[in-house]
Amino acid sequence: MGVLNVTPDSFSDGGEFFGDPARAAARAEEMVAEGADIIDVGGESTRPGGAVIDAGEELRRVAPVVAALARRVAVPVSIDTTKVEVARAALDAGAEIVNDISGLRFEPALADEAARAGAGLVLMHSRGTRETMHTLAPAADIMREVTEGLRRGVAEAERRGVGRACIALDPGVGFGKSHGQNVELVARLDALAAAFAGMPLLVGTSRKRFIGALLGGAPAGERLHGTMATVAAAVLKGAHVVRVHDVRAAVETARVADAIKAVNGEW
């Protein structure tokens, strides 16, 4: 899953494609050429301290990009949003997946839109609100917290008509977790795979702060190799989808990790 942020303030690529749908679409085409299977379009930054915007502003950012991609790329387009209005418009414009960082905690009716469109739905674990999630004290048992939170999200999605086959799960690395807990989630991803057998797992570690911390304070632009280490570990531990900024490197990393898994008959 290739990341395409059309925001002015995302932690890694903020401003790069903001206000320029043509440039954003060109970047999406480049990611597809590099091997991306999904393009994930986001119009609101989720970085610590990022500005919370209303649905109207988010739509102004993402709608022209989603519409352009629906015409120009042959892979599914995902809309990264927590807002019903934005999800509805994006799905109507051609998006095929809704990626909800709140796991339906913020606006549960998001699942209604996914069900209506027959779309995929990614449920991510997070804690708190947009304003507080990055300042909360760490949970006492992060694996239990994530497992229980994802179970609640799945139950709500199914209650609203989303088929289990349409749901993917994301443990939410970097969202309300300590650096150590982020590492633990990757290291113990196989436990989540066992808890949710048959459901795809999506992992997004790309350029995140815990990698910078492990690398002695490396800034976002210098976390490529650390990111690829987490991609390899995630694939070996059961991830089905990795959400990344650096698509070519991730495709090559995942290909080698898959070959290693195949030796043990796990692929």
Q: Which amino acid is at 159?
A: R
Q: What was the pLDDT predicted at 159?
A: 98
Q: How confident is the model at residue 265 (pLDDT cuts 50, 70, 90)?
A: confident
Write the DSSP string, 82-151. S-HHHHHHHHHHT--EEEETTTTSS-TTHHHHHHHHT-EEEEE---S-TTTTTTSPPPS-HHHHHHHHHH
Q: What was the pLDDT predicted at 154?
A: 98
Q: Tell me 199's DSSP state.
A: S
> What is the phi-psi region of residue 49: left when phi exceeds 0, alpha when psi lies from -120 to 50, beta otherwise?
left
Phi and psi at residue 100, to the nearest 5°: -110, 110
Write the DSSP string, 152-181. HHHHHHHHTT--GGGEEEE--TTSS--HHH
Give dist(CA 136, CA 175) in Å, integer.
10
Mean pLDDT of the chain: 94
What is the pTM assigned to this prediction?
0.94
Give dist(CA 142, CA 14) in Å, integer.
29
Annotated catalytic sites, by residue?
Answer: 208, 243
Phi and psi at residue 68, to the nearest 5°: -65, -45
Question: What would the pLDDT profile of 33-77 be if each residue is shown by its tens digit?
Answer: 999 999 999 999 877 667 788 999 999 999 999 999 999 999 999
Residue 73, C-beta contacts closer than 8 angstroms, at least 6 positions apart: 28, 29, 32, 39
Question: What would the pLDDT profile of 98-128 be if each residue is shown by its tens digit?
Answer: 999 999 999 999 999 999 999 999 999 999 9
Which tokens is 186 given?
């990757």
CB 215 within 8 A of CB 222: yes
Lowest mean pLDDT among 6-10, 22-26, 224-228, 254-258: 6-10
| In the predicted structure, residue 14 carries a pLDDT above the cut 80 | no
| In the predicted structure, residue 267 carries a pLDDT above the cut 60 | no
| In the predicted structure, residue 17 carries a pLDDT above the cut 80 | no
CA-closest candidate to residue 175, choices 224, 135, 230, 226: 135
Phi and psi at residue 137, to the nearest 5°: -65, 145
Q: What was the pLDDT predicted at 238?
A: 97
Cα 118 from chain centroid (whole Å): 19
Residue 252, C-beta contacts closer than 8 angstroms, at least 6 positions apart: none
* Percent of the chain whose pLDDT exceeds 90: 85
SS3 79: strand
Task: Domain 2-263: give its CATH architecture.
Answer: Alpha-Beta Barrel (3.20)
